[in-house]
Amino acid sequence: MQAHGGQSPSFVGTFDPRVRVVAACVFAIVVVALHQIEFALGALIFAAITMSLTDLPLRVTLKRMAAMDGFIIVMLVMLPFTTPGTPMFSVLGAEASKEGLMHAILVGIRANAVVLMMLSLLSGMTPVTLGHTLYRLKCPPVLVHLMMFTVRYISVLHDEYHRLRMAMKLRGFKARNNAHTYRSFGYLFGMLVVRSLERAERVLEAMKCRGFSGHFPMIDDLAFKRRDGAFAVFFLALIIALVLMDRMYVVAY
């Protein structure tokens, strides 16, 4: 198996894509159900070890994780002030609880563990390979087609948006906080939707002319090997151990 660009795949990239996708989903479901920070940290360390077995650049990976953290940082900051419990300090009369702070830390660790494991297990997998993998895992074909078309044409919509923005700038448009600006952006996104629909119709007609019958031919030959089974068993054993230790800790305390 060769990675994208002709390079040899990483250790994780040599396993069957179906095993990697299922493992990533199982890991995400299990990690979000953990109740203790210690075991969430264990999951994060496990994800970091998995990343070390891939060819993911550390700097790029950290930037992607930081982008995800930017979406949840507001929620994490608000949790100590919205969760009842033992007061620690107050800001402008709002008391922050210890339980809320611990919950925020737990949520942050779980989110980073899930994202890091997703990036690691799906690294080196092209959108086409991912689509074929999901199709073989019996995911709804409509969702698979939607995912593959979105990945394929999101850059086309991005280029169309920049062309429309450039046309507005050449006509002297400058964004301001007034009704004209809001109306202009409304026209911009409306035109983007119209052009997207037109492009979709042209793509559909082109595909029909090429014999598209509602499903993509499966080009990749995926074969489940013994090493894939060993990887699945090892990964599942670690996940089960993590869950059992977390539940035993909750029951004990």
| 19 and 97 together in one domain | yes
Q: Which residue has the tokens 């969430």?
A: 40
* Cα gap 58→48, rounded to integer Å: 10
pLDDT at residue 251 greater than cutoff 80: no
At residue 15, the 3 state secondary structure works out as coil
User: What pTM did the predictor assign?
Assistant: 0.74
> What is the total count of domains within the chain?
2
Specify the amino acid at residue 190. Answer: G
User: Is residue 4 a part of any domain in this protein?
Assistant: no
| 202 and 239 together in one domain | no
Which of 64-78, 119-133, 180-194, 215-229: highest mean pLDDT?
180-194
Supply the DSSP symbol for 218: -
% residues pLDDT > 70 (the chain): 92
| 28 and 145 together in one domain | no
pLDDT category of residue 221 using cuts at 50, 70 and 90? low
| 182 and 60 together in one domain | no
| 241 and 119 together in one domain | yes
User: Is residue 6 a part of any domain in this protein?
Assistant: no
pLDDT at residue 152 greater than cutoff 70: yes
User: Is residue 121 a part of any domain in this protein?
Assistant: yes
In this structure, are residues 185 and 161 in contact, taking their beta carbons and an 8 Å threshold? no
| 152 and 202 together in one domain | yes
At residue 94, the 3 state secondary structure works out as strand
Domain, as residue range, for 242 = 12-125+223-252
Q: What is the DSSP string of 147-214?
A: HHHHHHHHHHHHHHHHHHHHHHHHTT----SSHHHHHHHHHHHHHHHHHHHHHHHHHHHHHHHTT--S
User: Is residue 50 a part of any domain in this protein?
Assistant: yes
